[in-house]
Amino acid sequence: EKGGYPHFMLKEIYEQPTAITNTVSPRIINGAPDFGIKALTDEILKSFKRIWIVACGTAMHAGMVGKSVIEQLARVPVEVDIASEFRYRKPILNPDDDLVIIISQSGETADTLAALRLAKEQGVHTLAVVNVVGSSIAREANSVIYTWAGPEIAVASTKAYTVQLSVMYLFAIKMASVKGLIDEKETAKLCDDLLALPAKIEEVLQNADNCKFVASKFQNAHDIFFIGRGLDYSLSLEGSLKLKEISYIHSDAYAAGELKHGTISLITTDMPVVAIATQSHLFEKMISNIKEVRTRGAKVLLICKKGTERQADLSEYVIEIPDYNEYFSPILTAVPLQMFAYYTSVLRGCDVDKPRNLAKSVTVE
Ligand code: M6R
């Protein structure tokens, strides 16, 4: 059932191109996103003045990317919340203006389900992005967009995350187009770029050996930092979660500009840093941050786009992702982060698919 792979996690990493194609292509009709949801007409979509994205763990990290891309393209303010925080903080919801998007792979996460119920009770439209058909969240939400990743068995979420990202992109493109912020041609171009991503992921998957090599260099670390800016900050959080979840190496993720506000004091020769720098407009700033940590002895793994101009000695290690529309880079960056975590876990002899103390579906609060 592992299809020849040693672990479900690796199988699921390699299933990502297909999972994204299955999720995205049925939703692009005549060059524009179409979710086929009767309750969410273009008029209704256009009327939302604020969006909340509520989820836990990796699904929440997908929501963070969702916030960036929806705000950038559709210019609607988005708040992202951890379900277990949202439900106890008396969120100020407005049934006339707000949309609540709930993201969950399993559709059964207790806090996420409770957050959905709270939003519904307050009369706000709830849209669930769910992988498991017929799950509680899918049944109770006002509208559903299914991610078609297929069953995800490994506790560490991989393909469910990248398909959640692809739905966030589709949604952002849809919102921007109904609001008239992008024309038909721009809409079709973005849809084409999204549809072409699976082929780019195939390219990234060919970097497995490099990811394994870097993992072998970092496998004995006690702590690892992940840093990034903008979209890459959200990916730092996800890369850090993936690594600590399955390898038991402590790691933390920081917005790179925050280092000098406290955490740079932790940088020593024993603190390797994974620096994600895929966004050209933030690259110079990232270079400064990388130099700051290297001066203090950190060994750096840089994840950047192919062809990025950089000094030869900027970092000890590099993993490149294809040079592609940067707006979509999270979907490409996620893959080497998953592989880095995977190989680190394997090299440390951990139980990759079933890390200690964790369950696939968190149905208790
Ligand atoms: O099933 P859900 O998407 O609601 O699960 C949410 C989290 O429990 C889940 O993403 C968790 O963080 C993963 N194990 C991370 O790899």
209 to 206, 215, 319, 335: CA distances (angstroms) = 8, 10, 10, 13
106 close to ligand 1 (CB < 6 Angstrom)? yes
With a cut of 90, say whether residue 361 has pLDDT above it: no
Window from 125-129, 348-352, 357-361 with minimum mean pLDDT = 357-361
**CA 58 to CA 230: how far, in whole Å?**
17
pLDDT for position 61: 98
**ipTM for the complex?**
0.99
Ligand 1 atom nearest residue 57's Cα? 12
**CA 299 to CA 287: how far, in whole Å?**
14
**CA 114 to CA 136: how far, in whole Å?**
11
What single-letter DSSP state applies at residue 261?
G
Average pLDDT over residues 40-58: 97
Give residue 352 CA to ligand 1 midpoint distance, Å. 15
**CA 196 to CA 57: how far, in whole Å?**
28
pLDDT for position 100: 98
228 close to ligand 1 (CB < 6 Angstrom)? no
Alpha-carbon torsion (314, 318, 322, 327), positive or negative: negative
User: What is the rounded average pLDDT for all residues in the chain?
Assistant: 96
Average pLDDT over residues 282-288: 96
What residue's CA is closest to ligand 1, atom 14? 156
Give residue 48 CA to ligand 1 midpoint distance, Å. 27
Task: Tell me the CA end-to-end span of the chain in Å, nearest whole number.
Answer: 31
Q: Is 360 a catalytic residue?
A: yes
pLDDT for position 363: 86
Q: What letter represents residue 357's amino acid?
A: N
237 close to ligand 1 (CB < 6 Angstrom)? no
Give residue 156 CA to ligand 1 midpoint distance, Å. 7
Average pLDDT over residues 279-302: 96
pLDDT for position 365: 83
Residue 90: helix, strand or coil by DSSP?
Answer: coil
For the stretch 207-245, pLDDT in tens is 899 999 999 999 999 999 999 999 999 999 999 999 999
Taking the mean position of all CA atoms in its chain, how far away is CA 255?
15
pLDDT for position 118: 98
pLDDT for position 315: 96
pLDDT for position 21: 98
Phi (first) and psi of residue 361, to 5 degrees = -120, 120
329 close to ligand 1 (CB < 6 Angstrom)? no
Pair of tokens at residue 93: 């919801």
pLDDT for position 362: 86
Pair of tokens at residue 134: 């017929």
Ligand 1, pocket-test mutation among 8, 12, 58, 351, most atoms within 8 A of CB: 58
Give residue 138 CA to ligand 1 midpoint distance, Å. 16
- The band of 359, judged by pLDDT with boundaries at 50, 70 and 90, is confident
Match 């880095």 to its residue by tokens.
340
pLDDT for position 223: 97
- The band of 347, judged by pLDDT with boundaries at 50, 70 and 90, is very high
Ligand 1, pocket-test mutation among 8, 106, 108, most atoms within 8 A of CB: 106
111 close to ligand 1 (CB < 6 Angstrom)? no
Alpha-carbon torsion (241, 243, 246, 247), positive or negative: negative
22 close to ligand 1 (CB < 6 Angstrom)? no
For the stretch 241-259, pLDDT in tens is 999 999 999 999 999 999 9
Q: Which of 120, 212, 354, 360 is catalytic?
A: 360
With a cut of 90, say whether residue 312 has pLDDT above it: no
Residue closest to 321 by CA, chosen among 237, 238, 232, 224 = 232
With a cut of 90, say whether residue 313 has pLDDT above it: no
**CA 80 to CA 18: how far, in whole Å?**
28
Residue pair 13/207 in contact (Cβ under 8 Å)? The answer is no
155 close to ligand 1 (CB < 6 Angstrom)? yes
Half-sphere exposure (Cβ direction) of 54: Cα atoms closer than 13 Å: 34
Element (H, E) at 194: helix 184-195
Share of the chain above pLDDT 90, in %: 94
Average pLDDT over residues 124-138: 98
For the stretch 146-205, pLDDT in tens is 999 999 999 999 999 999 999 999 999 999 999 999 999 999 999 999 999 999 999 999
What single-letter DSSP state applies at residue 313?
T
322 to 10, 282, 326: CA distances (angstroms) = 21, 18, 10
Q: What letter represents residue 146's amino acid?
A: Y
Residue pair 317/300 in contact (Cβ under 8 Å)? The answer is yes
pLDDT for position 57: 98
Ligand 1 atom nearest residue 362's Cα? 8
